[in-house]
Chains A and B, each alone.
Chain A
Amino acid sequence: MPMTTTYDVERTSFLSALYSFREALPGLLAMLFIGIFSNNLAGVPNPFTLENLFHWLDGVIGPFNHQPFFQILNSNFVWNPILLGFIIGNVFGVPDSWKRGLSYIHLLMPLGIIMLGPHFIIDHAFKLGLWPIVICTGFMFLTATMTLFISRLFKLDDRHGSVIAGGLSTGDPHVGVILMPLIKAKGGQVVNGSICVIGFGLIAMFLLPWLASFVTLPQKYLGLSSVVGVGNGHQALFAAYTFGYEAGRYVLWFDVGRHVIMPAGFLYVFLVMFIRKLWNPTNPEIHATREVDKFPIWVGVFIFVWILAIFHVFKEPAHHAIFNMVKWDFSLAAAALGLSLSFKDIASAGVKGFWVTCTAGVLRIVLLLAALVVCFKLGLLEG
């Protein structure tokens, strides 16, 4: 009997999705221990975490262009438990007794995404001025559209293409994990897509300074070009510090413009793919959002919470306290995701995604530099 049918027969209320405490406990404990040994989580004074190990190794290795090595690789509270779960799952396997508890990943994803809402306060970006905001926003939507289009040209699986489009356009490789339940992407596609975005970021942090050497822009806007053209946190900082100290400092100033509009980026990718699926209900080549029948209510709740954040309903320190819960949530969910993956799952998504990322990424850098030069010459950007 298919599992969904079994569930439907045994279901008594929506709480049936939690299963019995006895069934769920082993998997929950597995997620908990992977989570607390991956990240420094609020309320857990455990010093033996992967996060601390990477910080220590950063000190041993030394900085690259003022940036810690593992931060350049985008190690964070999502990557660390995926990595640890992946190692444990592939070395020791995943016991059957864990699997009911690990299914809580599907509960944790909407939970974490909704709690992310208060994190993005739009007016924090107003200090940048109109044109930098226009450039950040415009290039986010342009990059997402270009990537989706290029992935179609390359005949890449549209779920994989969507994950890459989300990560590349928002300048955050971990957005793939957020898009996973929206797009219905496979775990292997999400991790492969994130590796593509981080991998291209490593190229972009050398490519941008080289291409920018052919144009004349003040340090301030070279900083902006790093935020929009490279993104990925410390990869943008690496590129900017190649230009100089001032450009590097301006990355921290402009990054808020990229950060606060991130939800619009992943919602845009979801909506484009969802509408495309609605218009092509029988096209067998369309996989993205295929199993999503209607607009998910929890995405509506996320948007509502994001709007409340824009109106400053969540003041400090509530917004930080809620984000600490997000870190907890994604640490547990990412542990389950890591455990679910084999090398084959990640490798089977292929290298085509990387070529899509490179094509879209290079195109973005060229168009961005052209747009910045035009805006600067027209006096839209202050010197």
Chain B
Amino acid sequence: MKTDLQDWPERSRELSQLLARAGLGDRAAFARFYEMTSGHLYAVVLRIQRDRASAEDLLQEVYVSVWKAAASFDAARSQPLTWLTSIARNRAIDSLRRQQAQPQTDSLSRDDEDERPDPAEALADEAPGPLALLSRASDARELSSCMERLSAAQRQSVALAFFDGLSHAEVAEQLREPLGTVKSWVRRALMSLKSCLERGVLRDADHPHSEA
């Protein structure tokens, strides 16, 4: 399955179709929708909620609600993959919140008995780190030039927050930087990303490529 950024809109067209059919009660379409998206969604969720059992439950919840909401999905407002990924990420972040509400020793060693690397080790692990993911995503679009204007630590802040679902405090802890500094890095990185993408959109508008 291709997961390139350029595929996002292309895959979305097919997914919108499947969702519309699912909205009419078509189970086979929903099964296909699951087949096409669950690998991506599980990766996104697992990165934030590292406990596999919780991540699986969460994935289940997401698809159950997607089936129920399929009829009301509005393709004019958002692309299905964007919609789906947002739902899953929100659930994953909420599940961290619930977890944190329970007594816990230390966020960096929470899966001792587990094979999963802790967030700090994940950076050295063979799975791409948040920064690698960000730069991979940047390759696909012209984000890199904008992102380059930020320091590595600034880039890493936003990547840790976004991909790994770390809070400002956790990012600060991991990077050993003051909380306020990390907050402003994340904010600046996001705004830079926005203006960069907006320039990209303007450029695309100057050189439109036909779309069926």
Q: Do A and B bind each other?
A: no
Chain B positions near chain A (C-beta within 8 angstroms): none
